[in-house]
Amino acid sequence: MTGIDRYAVIGNPVAHSKSPEIHAWFALQTRQNLQYERLLAPLDGFAAIVRNFISQGGRGANVTVPFKLEAHALANVLTERARAAGAVNTLKFEADVIEGDNTDGIGLVTDIVKNAGVPIAGKKVLLLGAGGAARGVVVPLLLEKPAELVIANRTQSRAIELVRQFSNTEGNFHASDFAALASPFDIVINATSASLSADMPDIPGAVFGRNTLAYDMMYGKQATVFMQFAAQCGAVTRDGLGMLVEQAAESFLFWRGVRPDTAAVLAQLRQSL
């Protein structure tokens, strides 16, 4: 593979990942010479897979479930947003340096503000879930200066723990459990894994108003159960395909120093689902 820079997405499972197609389109558009592949890592073998990939000339990797915390631990240099998130979804390899970044949050914010045309500033925002997906987007959401950010989880103690992790971050944010949610929000973001199993977070329909943007980080050919429920409550819905493309563009910029145009790639990807 002389002359071709190698990149990969590492996860378990990973066969479903659209990242190779996305980065192939980005490379074509920006005239970058690279190869991008999928790497399935054993659940107890993430670091070994990364080091083997580096030894074979790997220049960088995207990291998906369930390895984002391990990627954070493996990196010996962290960007500011990776430090803030406490999780890494993008690695860059140069000499002995493994640099970790987190592009999930900026990907979400860009898709909501730019692609969906919905400002976050001054809005009431509800973030459902307190796992890795939620943790990666808290700071970028707060940087948009919402009027209020409520982090809600089925087990409230986990939401409280997440709020504590960001106690030094400016903004009006607090924890809640699902049962305490009783009024509409401007934006509701589903960062739980419920949609992976065609399930629904146990939240009341009262969180959705007529102009609420109901955003599911998951995506598919059909609307998720969360999106269907939100639509029945009168909300406008959007899935996470745009977030996927936007975070990938940020990764590409991190690796290659050029940010691809995402609109055409998002349209192509939507068509291919």
30-55 residue pLDDT tens? 999 999 999 999 999 999 999 999 99
Residue 63 is given by DSSP the state E
Phi, psi for residue 94 in degrees, rounded to 5: -145, 120
Residue 1 is predicted with a pLDDT of: 41
Global pTM value: 0.94
Among all chains, which residue has been given the structure tokens 């050029």?
A: 258
For 18, the token pair is 């659209």
What is the C-alpha to C-alpha distance for residues 34 and 76, in angstroms, rounded to an integer?
24
Give the class (CATH, top level) of 105-239: alpha beta
Mean pLDDT along residues 126-155: 94
pLDDT tens digits for 51-88? 999 999 999 999 998 899 999 999 999 999 999 898 89
Q: Where are the domains of the chain?
A: 5-102+243-272, 105-239
The torsion region of residue 192 among left (phi > 0), alpha (psi -120 to 50) and beta comes to beta
Binding annotation: 17-19, 64, 80, 89, 104, 129-133, 153-158, 217, 219, 240, 247
Strands 236-238 and 208-216: parallel
Q: Each residue of 200-220: pLDDT tens digit?
A: 999 999 999 999 999 999 998
Closest CA relative to residue 5, chosen from 218, 256, 191, 196: 256
Catalytic positions: 68
Q: Which phi and psi angles does 78 have, rounded to 5°?
A: -125, 140
**4 CB-contact burial (10 Å; exposed 0-12 / middle 13-18 / buried 19+):** exposed
Is there a shared CATH topology between the 5-102+243-272 domain and the 105-239 domain?
yes
> At 23, which amino acid appears?
H
What pairing do the DSSP bridges indicate for beta strands 58-63 and 5-11? Answer: parallel
pLDDT at 15 over 50: yes
H-helix segments, the chain: 19-30, 46-55, 68-74, 80-85, 104-110, 132-135, 138-143, 156-165, 225-232, 241-256, 263-272
Selection from 109, 93, 86 nearest residue 168 by Cα: 86
Cβ 168 vs Cβ 140: under 8 Å: no
pLDDT the model gives residue 196: 76
- Supply the pLDDT for residue 2: 52
Paired tokens of 173: 């944010």
Distance CA 70, CA 76 (A): 12
Binding-site residues for shikimate sit at: 17-19, 64, 89, 104, 219, 247
What is the average pLDDT across 171-185?
96
**Positive or negative: CA dihedral 268, 37, 26, 65:** positive
Cis peptide before 260 (omega within 30 of 0): no
Under CATH, what is the fold of the domain 5-102+243-272? Rossmann fold (3.40.50)
